[in-house]
Amino acid sequence: AQKITQTQPGMFVQEKEAVTLDCTYDTSDPSYGLFWYKQPSSGEMIFLIYQGSYDQQNATEGRYSLNFQKARKSANLVISASQLGDSAMYFCAMREENDKLSFGAGTTVTVRA
């Protein structure tokens, strides 16, 4: 069964605007963690942000923020003030036992000048 669902295959955003990438997850474990990774066209996986299931506040890292709604099992990524360099594939992932990661299918973001 799909544990991480990203329903947006691709998105376009105007430079300097904000964009929200959706992620929903499925787990019965009370202790879990959610990540967002960026994969540019060069292929490397770049860590962006992490949210633990017991964290009281939404995580933020610079222009990235994670909108964590535990009851709805969603962990949406918000990128503020988009830049051309933000054009990439973005993956939501969930941390499971033995620190394994379960990834969603990804969302391609294209930033327009």
Partner 1 sequence: NAGVTQTPKFRVLKTGQSMTLLCAQDMNHEYMYWYRQDPGMGLRLIHYSVGEGTTAKGEVPDGYNVSRLKKQNFLLGLESAAPSQTSVYFCASNRGGPYGYTFGSGTRLTVV
Which positions lie near partner 1, rule CB under 8 A? 4, 6, 9, 33, 35, 43-45, 47, 50, 52, 91, 93, 95, 98-106
The DSSP secondary-structure symbol of 37 reads: E
Query: What is the smallest separation between the CB atom of 100 and partner 1, expressed in angstroms?
Result: 6
Radius of gyration of the chain (CA): 13
Nearest CA to 72 out of 25, 33, 30 is that of: 25
Query: What is the smallest separation between the CB atom of 60 and partner 1, expressed in angstroms?
Result: 15
Query: What is the smallest separation between the CB atom of 4 and partner 1, expressed in angstroms?
Result: 8
* Nearest to partner 1 of 99, 113 (CB atom): 99
* Nearest to partner 1 of 12, 40 (CB atom): 40
- For residue 86 the two structure tokens come to 């933000």
Q: Can you tell me the distance from the alpha carbon of 110 to that of 113, in angstroms, rounded to the nearest whole number?
A: 10
* Nearest to partner 1 of 28, 98 (CB atom): 98
Q: Are strands 10-14 and 107-112 parallel, antiparallel or unpaired?
A: parallel
